[in-house]
């Protein structure tokens, strides 16, 4: 009987250990499944963020290319203006023919102001709409012809 009691006690202890082991394993599996679900959500969020970053990077690259092209065009325009101004001695001309210089500068100022108006969103005049080239559109900003007439 002692042997049966020891065996029963041993079976009871082993059964308790197995019961504890089974419950502990189930709890760990539940925790691991919850963590796995959280990781899956984190992965999806990360992948979505990466895709958005790639889209944003592509858009930024396109904008940078566009800005660089516009900057190059502006440099070219500045060079044209510099060449024009370099061909004339404005100080000497203004001293000898002040009326002519005043008329030319006033006319150019009006045209340059119109360039700013157009860049600010002003509507085209009928004359500007009917222009056939950049010079007839506005001689101070002929590059705007393609921008506004082709739209």
29-60 tens-digit pLDDT: 999 999 999 999 999 999 999 999 999 999 99
CB contact at 8 A, 109 and 80: no
CA-wise closest residue to 140 among 101, 105, 103, 102: 105
Give the rounded percent of residues in the chain with a pLDDT score beyond 90: 41
Work out the angle at residue 49's Cα, subtended by the Cα atoms of residues 45 and 52, and round it to the nearest 5 degrees: 140
Residue 148 has what pLDDT? 72
pLDDT digits (tens, 9 = 90+) for 8-32: 899 999 999 999 999 999 999 999 9
């Amino acid at each position: 009987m002692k042997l049966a009691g020891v065996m029963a006690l041993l079976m009871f202890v082993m059964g308790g250990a197995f019961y504890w082991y089974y419950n502990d394993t189930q709890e760990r599996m539940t925790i691991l499944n919850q963590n796995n679900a959280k990781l899956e959500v984190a992965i999806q969020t990360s992948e979505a963020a990466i895709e958005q970053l790639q889209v944003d990077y592509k858009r930024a690259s396109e904008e940078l290319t566009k800005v660089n092209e516009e900057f190059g065009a502006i440099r070219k325009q500045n060079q044209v203006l510099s060449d024009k101004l370099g061909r004339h001695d404005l100080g000497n001309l203004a001293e000898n023919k002040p009326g002519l210089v005043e008329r030319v500068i006033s006319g150019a100022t009006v045209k340059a102001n119109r360039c700013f108006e157009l860049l600010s969103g002003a509507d085209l005049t009928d004359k500007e709409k009917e222009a056939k080239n950049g010079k007839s559109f506005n001689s101070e900003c002929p590059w705007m012809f393609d921008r506004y007439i082709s739209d």
